[in-house]
């Protein structure tokens, strides 16, 4: 699939990030005393609670296949970032949307760009101030390499750990596994696999 020319793919998440308001409108809510967190973990979330997450980090190529025959990757580690919105259906289950991007150099000094976007579903475990979201994202990923463009299916399971700093913010780490197939119908199908590792800031509202 040919992608429109103009703005480089890797700039799309940056533009969207700049469009997010710097300060979220908040309603007053009582502070949660530090010594009460461990006694009421599930009550920290209820239906209608929302989070917005910014993630930045590195991405590493792992397994590359052509019709399930392993091939040597020519892609080096690169950078990645994501913006994610989650809506809680109850104290543990959430749905949401996510958009991100990655860039990785190749051994030939070219660049690979991928911009995943899609919907997600997840479940969050809470232990005191620590929160452990596990999620699955599925969607569409425009890709660009030199003068070649492609857009296709994207799948990413991920797991995170956050430390709840206060009622508004939590900070943590996330890792995800990218499955990026290329079904072109013009030759052997290609399957790219990547692993990301990012640091995250999450706003609760």
Q: What is the CATH number of the domain that holds 64?
A: 2.40.160.20
Strands (E) in the chain, as ranges, are: 50-66, 69-71, 78-88, 93-105, 111-114, 117-127, 130-145, 148-164, 169-182, 190-204
- pLDDT for 72 equals 79
Q: Which segments of the chain have a pLDDT < 70?
A: 1-43, 68
Residue 26 lies in a domain: no
- CB 117 within 8 Å of CB 138: no
The structural domain count of the chain equals 1
Residue 27 lies in a domain: no
Residue 41 lies in a domain: no
What confidence tens digit (pLDDT) does each residue in 110-123 have?
Answer: 999 999 999 999 99
Residue 182 lies in a domain: yes
- Measure Cα distances from 38 to 44, 124, 129, 131 in Å: 11, 16, 7, 12
| Beta strands 117-127; 50-66: pairing state | unpaired
Q: Which of 175, 188, 176 is nearest to 64 (CA)?
A: 188
Q: Which of 121, 120, 163, 116 is nearest to 10 (CA)?
A: 116
Residue 116 has φ and ψ, to the nearest 5°, of: -75, 145
- pLDDT for 113 equals 95
- pLDDT for 43 equals 56
Residue 30 lies in a domain: no
- CB 164 within 8 Å of CB 131: yes
Task: List the domain range (segments joined by +) for residue 109.
Answer: 9-17+46-204
Give the helix/strand (H/E) hosting 18.
helix 12-19
What is the distance between the terminal CA atoms of the chain, rounded to a whole angstrom? 38
What confidence tens digit (pLDDT) does each residue in 169-203 have?
Answer: 999 999 999 999 988 777 778 888 999 999 999 99
Residue 1 lies in a domain: no
Residue 84 lies in a domain: yes
Residue 54 lies in a domain: yes
Q: Which of 153, 149, 59 is nearest to 101 (CA)?
A: 59
- pLDDT for 33 equals 43
């Amino acid at each position: 699939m040919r992608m429109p020319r103009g703005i480089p793919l890797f700039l799309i998440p940056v533009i969207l990030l700049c469009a997010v308001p710097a300060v979220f409108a908040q309603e007053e809510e009582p502070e949660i005393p530090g010594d009460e967190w461990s006694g009421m973990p599930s009550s920290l979330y209820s239906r209608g609670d929302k989070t917005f997450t910014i993630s930045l980090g590195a991405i590493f190529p792992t397994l590359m296949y052509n019709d399930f025959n392993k091939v040597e990757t020519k892609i080096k580690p690169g950078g990645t970032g994501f913006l994610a919105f989650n809506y809680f259906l109850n104290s543990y289950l959430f749905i949401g949307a996510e958009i991100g991007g990655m860039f990785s150099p190749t051994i030939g000094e070219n660049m690979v760009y991928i911009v995943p976007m899609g919907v997600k579903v997840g479940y969050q475990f809470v232990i005191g101030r620590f929160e452990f979201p596990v999620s699955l994202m599925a969607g569409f990923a425009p890709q660009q390499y030199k003068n070649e463009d492609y857009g296709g299916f994207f799948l990413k399971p991920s797991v995170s750990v956050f430390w709840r700093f206060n009622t508004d913010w939590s900070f943590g780490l996330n890792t995800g596994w990218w499955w990026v197939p290329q079904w072109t119908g013009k030759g052997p199908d290609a399957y790219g696999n990547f692993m990301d590792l990012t640091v995250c800031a999450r706003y609760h509202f």
